[in-house]
Structure 1
Amino acid sequence: MTADVHNGDFADAPVLLTGFEPFGGEADNPSWDAVRRLHGERIGGRRVVAERLPVAFGASLQRLRECLDASRPALVLCVGQAGGRAQLSIERVAINVDDARIADNLGARPIDEPVIGDGPAAYFSTLPIKALRAALLDAGLPAEISQTAGTYVCNHVFYGLMHELHRRGDARVRGGFIHIPYSPAQAARHAGAPSLDADSVVRALRAMVETALATDVDRRLAGGAEH
């Protein structure tokens, strides 16, 4: 039976993890490869539900809304690939802009368009981002606070998630977005690109979910950027 956080079953509500299908000519997407390995596990006393999103403007948000309706989660962590980044990037802010350098998997390439026409300029993650970074560093995993999720489908989903959670109005449900590097197999095809193996990504996701569920007030730690 699906938990319903709006009918008093919040204690049984699961954690929703999402990853993406491959895009940009890649055969795999390490975000989905990692997320699906956690499907059905219990972390911090909550069951994990893993779902795959299309790399498509519009369709990704429709699928995300369906996943939210089906799982009624207590926590949502969306995961995407950022080829070229060397660290696990915990995103701070989603902006209301779609500006695609390349077309999505359905051929759409919006330029300077809003994610949500009447939405605010930006949303902040409601995850304890500083505590998440500290947990990853303590576990020996490379991690940073990122000040931008880009303007492609990852930011589209991040903004759409935060807008939908705000619209639904249950402040107990927190959400955010994490970018991960290339997998080693991908990096082998991109000379000089950094990578992170799947086992490390899975370990990082476990640590972040556990920390997010256990942290009510974020830690006050430096995590800003100079540029």
Structure 2
Amino acid sequence: MKNILLTGFEPFGGETMNPSWEAVKCLDGEILFGDYQIQSVQLPTVFGDAIHQLAQAQARISPVLTLCIGQAGGSSELRVERIAINLDDARIPDNAGNQPIDQPIVPDGPTAYWSTLPIKSIVEVLKENGIPASVSHSAGTYVCNHLFYGLMHRIAESKVEGKGGFIHIPFLPEQVASNRNQPSMSLETIVRGIRIATEVSLRQHEDIRVVGGALD
């Protein structure tokens, strides 16, 4: 049996839950295509520690695919990230009180890495299944981008095999119950979307060529 690693984050910023972990833990142990088993791991919302614990999980299970999931408050769709940049610039402190500003994630590392997932294929299949989704061209500069860059750096340096990438997901309805101006998505839909993204990543070796750009 080959392993797939899904990661989600612990709550941060005063939240009592993080939809990324709530979603990926629902998929832990699931078998895909009869040959692949999902292993779900919660990571700390802490600069440095998130990448370190990701590396430990990868060493333990040797995944053929690593898909990291993060919370994107204010988003109404699944955002499949295209690029990770070599920059930490934290708007708020992480869960350990760290607040790096204008710091590289990997000193002397490349400016950016591309996702190795078939991002446009994922978005198209999600839409075909009635799940709002888009290609995103910025994963931010907080711990999500930090982890995404760390993952892609490890793949580029051949410290782990297989594909890798990052998807941002909306708040859960429970998180926005007191603020109806914030969009949300049901846990069931998010879980279904992550499963679809995982399946497409496993079976699609080359991405499709369709419009996925943005004007802003």
TM-score, scaled to structure 1: 0.93
Give the drift of 1:166. 1.1
In the alignment, structure 1 residue 128 sits paired with structure 2 residue 121: no
Determine which of 215, 220, 223 is the counterpart of 2:204: 215
Determine which of 39, 44, 47 is the counterpart of 2:37: 47
Q: CA RMSD in A?
A: 1.0
Give the drift of 1:191. 3.7
Alignment partner of 2:98: what SS? coil
What is the aligned partner in structure 1 of residue 66 from structure 2?
A: 76
Give the drift of 1:169. 5.9
Q: Which runs of 4+ in 1 moved over 4 A?
A: none
Task: Name the amino acid aligned to 2:22.
Answer: D
Determine which of 139, 146, 169 is the counterpart of 1:156: 146
Please show how residues 99-114 of structure 1 align to structure 2 within 5 Å: 99-114=89-104
State the distance in 2 between where 1:136 and 1:29 align.
22
Deviations 1:181-210 (A, max 9, x none): 000011123340000010001100111111
Instruction: Give the percent of matched residue pairs that are identical in Structure 1 and Structure 2.
Output: 48
Please show how residues 10-29 of structure 1 align to structure 2 within 5 Å: 12-29=1-18
TM-score, scaled to structure 2: 0.97
Could you list the runs of 5+ residues in structure 2 that have no partner in the other structure?
none
Please show how residues 190-205 of structure 1 align to structure 2 within 5 Å: 190-205=179-194
Determine which of 34, 53, 57 is the counterpart of 2:23: 34
State the distance in 1 between where 2:125 and 2:83 align.
20
Task: Name the amino acid aligned to 2:59.
Answer: D
State the distance in 1 between where 2:27 and 2:18 align.
15
In the alignment, structure 1 residue 86 sits paired with structure 2 residue 104: no
Deviations 1:38-96 (A, max 9, x none): 00001133000000000000011110000110110000100000100111000000000
Report the number of matched residues. Answer: 215
In the alignment, structure 1 residue 181 sits paired with structure 2 residue 170: yes
What is the aligned partner in structure 2 of residue 139 from structure 1?
A: 129
Task: Name the amino acid aligned to 2:186.
Answer: D
What is the aligned partner in structure 2 of residue 224 from structure 1?
A: 213
Could you list the runs of 5+ residues in structure 1 that have no partner in the other structure?
1-11
Determine which of 149, 158, 166 is the counterpart of 1:168: 158
Task: Name the amino acid aligned to 1:114.
Answer: P
Give the drift of 1:118. 2.0
